[in-house]
Chains A and B, each alone.
Chain A
């Protein structure tokens, strides 16, 4: 716990330096953002942030971020579960790999995803082949074609305007969040509870649904929200993949860059404020979930 005694020296110096550095690097620049938006009238502000192209970019950012975070919520839970509870060859390697998206620069992630899913890439070229193979097999059995020729085109996404590409790379970028928040809870989990539940006659699904999952829920949901928040702000990896068509495949952070390149500083600031407020709200939500969980735990 923090020691309240002022016997230690350096309080004024360390606190003063912290506040000075914090103000110079974080607080004053963020205040500049707020100040810039006061230079435009509220009506103008509203017009900028509800411009159809900008609204389309929010929609794209939110849908792609949500789907990527949701997919990670499902698979992240499975991955954390497997890594904590089962032993198999390569477990340590996979466990270390979880943090890789944090360590790899996002530009490299965008680059390698773009090249993988190009028509001549390792995965992007698979779509037509899979369709041909499936239809060949069904033709062998005398059936009609099972898959339409373009049904797997979402596997080839760079520069084609496919949203699937943005979702795929965002899955990579936010992959560690759910795993790394759920993992410690599973680690601390006492198997006695499961034994008790089984003694009382509960089935496996019931045990997971009624006994384990409620325990995991706070960590799991805050992992999901953190992943979602991270995805909303992500820029570096997505621009390697998105086709950059205004109103169709531009994400919200890209709108800021477009406005800046156009010297529309106030408009860029307005969109920046919107993104900032959204991420602060998400942060509050995450803290709310954690506080609620802690109080709930104490009450129980």
Chain B
């Protein structure tokens, strides 16, 4: 829904409207209420994330990601060894969740860009029967609860699902486990070290669920702009003899580049942060944890500081997202005025 909204009011640079004469007291009260409300509900929770992440100091924060290694000649008691081993396992899982989150976004974003461009091209450059319905259907995932989004894939791809046994017995290699084995086993030097069985409760299910929840972002950011730009420039290029693809890459794509980036940023933020849908299709398996799921597990293990340390990474990303988003809005607003 975030994207639907963002698309509805694209690129508004906020200016102050000259207020009609209002009493200074009323004005002061309203400003106080605004500042207090946003401080209480947004600012304090944000600061709290970092405060809690550094609750055990900088060393404690770093040791969540890089656990302390004992010196080679140190003599350790059994319980110390166990604690170190435990911390090392936790850090490995955290790193695994970080890589999985990035990998999922890396797969989802290109797919959604391709879809968003195709959908925006079809729905804005042409007029056809059912165009309104198609636009509404593209927006549909925004109004589906994330848990329901996860549920539909469990029902579709699970053991008792529509595709039944076929899809649960289907084996596929993990593309991220591709590694170099040399030429000893034949002419092909690369091999997969891991395979997955089935789709549900594997990283592929996480990718599919993430595509579902981020589905409309790119299309919704592109459509209003492409609609307002019309197709005069494209028609001119075609008349001058450019091919369809060339017109697309040389005319259309440069025209919508900021809107495209805007959609990509929204997609990225949502795919890093999606919880409900991913939680349902991950099957609560440790190797399927994305960062938000990892946060939940750490919190449930009473490892609050570690949960906040992982959260602080996501909170920082959210701040960066906001800055990038604001920058794009200003940039395209300024270009729009030229």
**Nearest Cβ distance between residue B36 and chain A, in whole angstroms?**
10
**Nearest Cβ distance between residue B231 and chain A, in whole angstroms?**
5
Q: Which of A15, A99, A108 has the most CB of B within 10 A?
A: A108
Say which size band chain A's interface belongs to: 35 or more
B115 lies within 8 A of A18 (CB): yes
B46 lies within 8 A of A100 (CB): yes
B155 lies within 8 A of A33 (CB): yes
**B-side contacts of A90, CB under 8 Å:** 35
**A-side contacts of B126, CB under 8 Å:** 2-4, 6, 8, 11, 15
A172 lies within 8 A of B144 (CB): no
Task: Say yes or no for A113: interface residue by CB 8 A criterion.
Answer: yes
Interchain Cβ contacts within 8 Å, total number: 324
A236 lies within 8 A of B146 (CB): yes
Q: Give Cα A17 to B27, complex, Å.
A: 53
**Nearest Cβ distance between residue A196 and chain B, in whole angstroms?**
11
Q: Given the known inter-chain contacts A79-B38, A115-B304, A253-B145, please indicate yes or no for A108 contacting B315, CB distance below 8 A.
A: yes
Closest to B13 in A: A187
A10 lies within 8 A of B244 (CB): yes
Which of A3, A229, A265, A276 contacts B127, CB < 8 Å? A3
A102 lies within 8 A of B2 (CB): yes
Q: Which of B27, B137, B275 has the most CB of A within 10 A?
A: B275
Task: Say yes or no for A268: interface residue by CB 8 A criterion.
Answer: yes
Q: Given the known inter-chain contacts A115-B52, A122-B48, A187-B12, please indicate yes or no for A269 contacting B125, CB distance below 8 A.
A: no
Closest to A265 in B: B160
Task: Say yes or no for B5: interface residue by CB 8 A criterion.
Answer: yes
Q: Given the known inter-chain contacts A26-B137, A84-B17, please indicate yes or no for A104 contacting B314, CB distance below 8 A.
A: yes
Q: Give Cα A22 to B292, complex, Å.
A: 27
**Nearest Cβ distance between residue B34 and chain A, in whole angstroms?**
4
B5 lies within 8 A of A260 (CB): no
Q: Give Cα A26 to B20, complex, Å.
A: 48
Closest to A204 in B: B22
Stretch at the interface among B64-72, B86-94, B185-193, B319-327: B319-327
Q: Give Cα A100 to B325, complex, Å.
A: 11
Q: Given the known inter-chain contacts A94-B35, A176-B5, please indicate yes or no for A2 contacting B227, CB distance below 8 A.
A: yes
**Which B112-151 residues have a C-beta within 8 angstroms of A?**
114-115, 117-119, 121-128, 131, 134, 137-138, 140-141, 143-148, 151
Closest to B248 in A: A10
Task: Say yes or no for B276: interface residue by CB 8 A criterion.
Answer: yes
Task: Say yes or no for A272: interface residue by CB 8 A criterion.
Answer: yes
**A-side contacts of B321, CB under 8 Å:** 103
A26 lies within 8 A of B140 (CB): yes
Q: Give Cα A257 to B293, complex, Å.
A: 14
Q: Give Cα A189 to B158, complex, Å.
A: 53
Stretch at the interface among B168-176, B208-216, B255-263: B208-216
Q: Give Cα A83 to B152, complex, Å.
A: 41
**A-side contacts of B19, CB under 8 Å:** 85-86, 191
B143 lies within 8 A of A280 (CB): yes
Task: Say yes or no for B285: interface residue by CB 8 A criterion.
Answer: no
B318 lies within 8 A of A83 (CB): no
**A-side contacts of B296, CB under 8 Å:** 107, 239-240
Q: Give Cα A171 to B45, complex, Å.
A: 13
Q: Give Cα A184 to B304, complex, Å.
A: 40
Closest to A95 in B: B14
Q: Give Cα A91 to B162, complex, Å.
A: 53
Q: Give Cα A195 to B21, complex, Å.
A: 9
B38 lies within 8 A of A7 (CB): no
**Which A152-187 residues have a C-beta within 8 angstroms of B?**
168, 171-172, 175-177, 180-181, 183-184, 186-187
Q: Give Cα A121 to B49, complex, Å.
A: 12
Which of B42, B131, B151 contacts A101, CB < 8 Å? B42
A82 lies within 8 A of B34 (CB): yes
B140 lies within 8 A of A107 (CB): no
**B-side contacts of A14, CB under 8 Å:** 117-119, 121-122
Task: Say yes or no for A217: interface residue by CB 8 A criterion.
Answer: no
**B-side contacts of A10, CB under 8 Å:** 121, 244, 248
B30 lies within 8 A of A18 (CB): no
**Nearest Cβ distance between residue A58 and chain B, in whole angstroms?**
13
**B-side contacts of A113, CB under 8 Å:** 45
B227 lies within 8 A of A233 (CB): no
**Which B282-307 residues have a C-beta within 8 angstroms of A?**
291-293, 295-296, 299, 304, 307
Q: List 10 A-B contacts (CB under 8 A).
A: A18-B119, A22-B137, A86-B19, A105-B314, A112-B46, A180-B5, A183-B12, A183-B14, A204-B22, A260-B280
Q: Which A residues are closer than 8 A to B by beta carbons?
A: 1-11, 13-15, 17-19, 21-22, 25-30, 32-33, 35-36, 75, 78-79, 81-88, 90-92, 94-109, 111-116, 121-123, 168, 171-172, 175-177, 180-181, 183-184, 186-187, 189, 191, 194-195, 198, 204, 226, 229-230, 232-236, 239-240, 253-254, 256-257, 260, 265, 268-269, 272, 275-276, 279-280, 282-283
